């Protein structure tokens, strides 16, 4: 559970980072499974224009390790605490940001997409990022503009060109104005760290030209009463099952990692 100070910090800055929330064994099984998912040829796996994996959607619906992560109490409980009600999975994706080839995510607010494309009533969905690799200043960390969530949802343009993934993006003047007020931060850390951020927090990331991949799992947990009204995207991108998530046991992922023969692979 979060402390009062952590909740106050989230409301002020729009984000909160909990380093090393998941143990090396837990992360190792997720990393292995992410690599396996990226090799699959299925509509949920999107590739960069050059063919490298960019993101894989909905792995919690077809992969046991990610199913356990998607119902993990270390993520579900803090978000229930902030929203004061049960949550369901609006979106689940594993972003690759592959070594040498991972491309940019332009500046945007996620609620811009959830509102326009999915008909989500309010910005009462939380983004949770779980680091599967070490996130460093050099391998395309997520860049956040602190306090930008206080601006509400901003004008955006639909960028269908820059990358393989369509995105409602902010113009340079808007980003400059917000950065003058809030600056830019890039939370970094070891695999297993967890970052929570507000649906209206402005964020993006640069390309990755290093040999170090930067895989991050993103869960979007939406308050059940705020479920989407007008989905236009496929079900595997914007889920329409609004059933509240029942958290699994805290050690469920660890037990799965051990039973699937991973103990030796984790340091
Ligand atoms: C996103 O904003 O959805 C992804 C950003 C990233 O993984 O860098
Ligand atoms: Mn985003």
Residues 46-74: tens digit of each pLDDT: 998 889 999 999 999 999 999 999 999 99
Is 13 contained in some domain?
yes
Is 127 contained in some domain?
yes
Q: Do 104 and 207 touch, CB atoms closer than 8 A?
A: yes
Distances (CA, A) of 73 to 1, 76, 227, 235, 260: 9, 5, 21, 24, 21
**Residue with CA nearest ligand 1 atom 2:** 204
Distances (CA, A) of 59 to 65, 218, 227, 260: 9, 11, 20, 17
Ligand 2 centre to CA of 265 (Å) is 31
Ion ligand 2 residue ranges (Cβ < 5 Å): 110
Q: Is the pLDDT of residue 84 over 60?
A: yes
Could you count the other beta carbons within 10 Å of the beta carbon of residue 45? 18
Is 207 contained in some domain?
yes
What distance in Å separates the CA atoms of residue 18 and residue 194, rounded to the nearest whole number?
A: 5
Is 260 contained in some domain?
no
Is 187 contained in some domain?
yes
Query: How many domains is the chain built from?
Result: 1
Is 192 contained in some domain?
yes
Ligand 2 centre to CA of 261 (Å) is 34
- Quote the domain boundaries for residue 129: 4-254
Ligand 1 centre to CA of 264 (Å) is 31
In tens, the pLDDT along 104-142 reads 999 999 999 999 999 999 999 999 999 999 999 999 999
- Decide: helix, strand or coil at residue 171: coil
Q: Is the pLDDT of residue 212 over 60?
A: yes
Pocket of ligand 1 (CB under 6 A): 95, 105, 142, 203, 205, 216, 218
Is 37 contained in some domain?
yes
- Burial class of residue 183, CB neighbours in 10 A (0-12, 13-18, 19+): exposed
CATH code of the domain covering residue 205: 2.60.120.620
- pLDDT value of position 49: 86
pTM for the model stands at 0.95
Is 262 contained in some domain?
no
State the closest ligand 1 atom to the C-alpha of 95, by its place in the atom list counted from 1: 7
Ligand 1 centre to CA of 105 (Å) is 6
């Amino acid at each position: 559970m979060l402390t009062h100070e952590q909740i106050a910090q989230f409301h002020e800055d729009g984000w909160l980072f909990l380093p090393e929330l998941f143990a090396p064994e837990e992360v190792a099984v997720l990393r292995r499974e992410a690599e396996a998912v990226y090799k699959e040829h299925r509509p949920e796996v999107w590739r960069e224009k050059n063919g490298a994996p960019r993101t894989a959607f909905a792995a919690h619906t077809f992969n046991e390790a990610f199913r356990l992560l998607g119902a993990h109490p270390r993520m579900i409980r803090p978000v229930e605490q902030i929203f004061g009600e049960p949550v369901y999975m609006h979106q689940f994706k594993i972003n690759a940001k592959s070594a040498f080839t991972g491309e940019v995510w332009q500046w945007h607010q996620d609620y811009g997409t959830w509102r326009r494309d999915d008909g989500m009533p309010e910005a009462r969905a939380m983004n949770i990022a779980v680091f599967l690799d070490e996130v460093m200043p050099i391998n395309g960390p997520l860049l956040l503009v602190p306090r930008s969530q206080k601006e509400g949802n901003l004008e955006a343009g639909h960028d269908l060109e820059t990358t393989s993934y369509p995105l409602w993006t902010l113009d340079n003047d808007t980003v400059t104005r917000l950065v003058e007020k809030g600056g830019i931060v890039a939370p970094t850390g070891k695999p297993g760290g967890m970052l929570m951020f507000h649906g209206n927090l402005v964020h993006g990331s640069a390309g990755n030209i290093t040999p170090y991949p930067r895989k991050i799992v993103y869960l979007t947990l939406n308050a059940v009463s705020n479920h989407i009204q007008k989905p236009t995207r496929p079900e595997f991108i914007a889920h329409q099952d609004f059933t509240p998530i029942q958290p699994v046991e805290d050690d469920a992922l660890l037990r799965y990692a051990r039973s699937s023969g991973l103990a030796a692979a984790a340091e």
